[in-house]
Structure 1
Amino acid sequence: MEHKTSLYSLRKTIGILGLALPLLLLAAHQDLISSMSHYYYTAGSVFFILILSAFGLNLINYKGYPKKEGELLSDRFVTTAAGICILITVLIPTKSENPLGQLFFTGSPYLFGHESNGFLGAIHLLSAALFFILLGYMSFFKFVLNHNASASRNRLFKRCGIIVWASVGALVAIFALEAILGINFDTIIPAYTFWIEWVAVYAFAVAWLVKGRIHLDVEKMMKTFSQEKSLEKH
């Protein structure tokens, strides 16, 4: 029972952090720029670094359930790998060039910031993509293994996984077109990367919150509120 309670808490923590991330980035910098990763160079960096680091540490600490016969990857392997990927994403940030809007730290070095279009930028993009792919895998393949879960919950988990993967696929396709055609899609859809990342983050956040049984907390809170209002009337 204690193990399950711990798992539920970790899942809810990951989900809540996911919901909060894009909102806090926008609130801190108050300007829309190319991607969430570019907020590393703004006043929103404190939230970018802390929340993604918390993602990584929570995922590495997430043990999940033991690997069952026939399973390709264990819960522990998937989440640990995802946690390492997102920590790499933080430690090796995206390049500081060509974002939309004004960067707070433009013109001076900031932590591990760089202007590289090559190796460092590739590591950042690859680690971020693997992070999303692994969490999509967790939602699509792992969260549906509970035989006591309803069919509707399992459909939600699978859809969340598909949305995460589709978001990664869309970004890869757009980046490839940009490279082939030599154009910047930000001029057509400003901050398209940020919006697609938001969709992916919210998809896996919803999956982790539902898996963490957030609805039971909401029901408990509503019940407590109703009881308190009833006592006030008497």
Structure 2
Amino acid sequence: MSDTSESDKSDPHVMSFYRVRQALGVVALILPPALIVGGMGLEGSLRDSVSNFFFSPLREMFTGSLAAIGVFLISYKGYPRRSDETFSDQVLASVAGISALLVAFFPSLADCIPPEGMAHCVPPAETVTQKLIGVSASSWVHNLSAVVFFLCLVIFCLVQFPKTESRVRPYIYKACGYGILVALAGIAGAFAMARWGGAETFVNVHNLIFWGEAAGIWIFALAWLTKGKADQAALALLRRAVSPEK
């Protein structure tokens, strides 16, 4: 049984709703590959974390993508709150969206990468938000907002999204929710290894925090593409390409 009814397909408002979800998933899907290709091409290496691309030539890619995700989420209406729910889709999405904007515009502590031919590097200039609340406070805002953002996604995947008549999609959502939790645990473990476990070089050389964050973002993308029925949209596009209407 299709998860999208024929009446939904003929309703432009419903289809627009799906396209917003798809756009949200696409932005998240392409962010890590863009940073990987850009980082290797422009700097010859990856940064230690996704957040540290704020201090790279790819700053606009990082902040622009997060800002787009934040605006999408804040504008996301979702379903009205049910009697058995503590909060609605819209409240959860708004919290996640605000968190994404805070991650984008309140940078964490920067990696100090020395320019070519120099033994020591000059720390990057402070941003407006760092000047307003301080570098350390900005880092705290950034890190806490990132945690809140991912936890909101976990709630979406484990609690909100599975409330569907589809037989298959709830399993995908739940797998995404647990996947994000595993990614968060991996990030926390890598951070602990670098900070207190004496394995900072190992963590940095293998970019463990970056890959943990990238995995979380990719899983987030999969969840929203599934919620936006991107699979059905792709199949419909393929059918039109193979058998165009005369």
TM-score range, shorter chain: 0.7 to 0.9
Alignment partner, residue 122 of structure 1: 140
Displacement of 1:183 in angstroms is: 4.0
Partner amino acid, structure 1, of 2:87: L
Do residues 221 (structure 1) and 237 (structure 2) align? yes
Q: Deviations over 1:177-221 (max 9, x none)?
A: 433335415457521111011111111101110110111221122
Matched pairs, number: 226
- Per-residue CA deviations over 1:125-168 (Å, capped at 9, x if unaligned) read 1101111110121111111111x212x21111000011112211
- What is the TM-score with the length of structure 1 in the denominator? 0.86
Maintained 8 Å contact 2:191/2:209: no
Ranges in structure 1 where 5+ consecutive residues have no aligned partner: none
5+ unaligned residues in a row in structure 2: which ranges?
A: 1-10
1:137 aligned partner: 155
Residue of structure 2 in register with 1:21 after alignment: 31
1:195/1:4 CA distance change after superposition, 3 Å: same
Cα distance between partner residues in 1 of 2:208 and 2:156:
25
- Residue 203 (structure 1) aligned with residue 219 (structure 2): yes
| Aligned 8 A contact 1:33 1:99 in 2 | no
Aligned Cα root-mean-square deviation (Å): 2.7
| SS of residue in 2 equivalent to 1:69 | coil
Q: Distance in 2 between matches of 1:187 and 1:174?
A: 6
Give me the TM-score of the superposition, normalised by structure 2: 0.82
Superposed displacement of residue 108, structure 1: 4.0
| C-alpha deviation, 1:225, in angstroms | 1.5
- Which residue matches 1:69? 83
The residue correspondences of 1:41-120 to structure 2 (distance < 5 A) are 41-97=55-111, 107-109=123-125, 111-112=127-128, 118-120=136-138
Instruction: State whether residues 32 and 100 of structure 1, in contact with CA within 8 Å, keep that contact through their aligned partners in structure 2.
Output: no
Cα deviations by residue, 1:2-55 (Å, 9 ceiling, x for unpaired): 442232111101100011101111233323110111111111111101110000
Give the aligned residue type for 2:229: R
Higher mean C-alpha displacement, 181-190 vs 17-26: 181-190
Q: Determine what percentage of the aligned residue pairs are the same residue.
A: 25
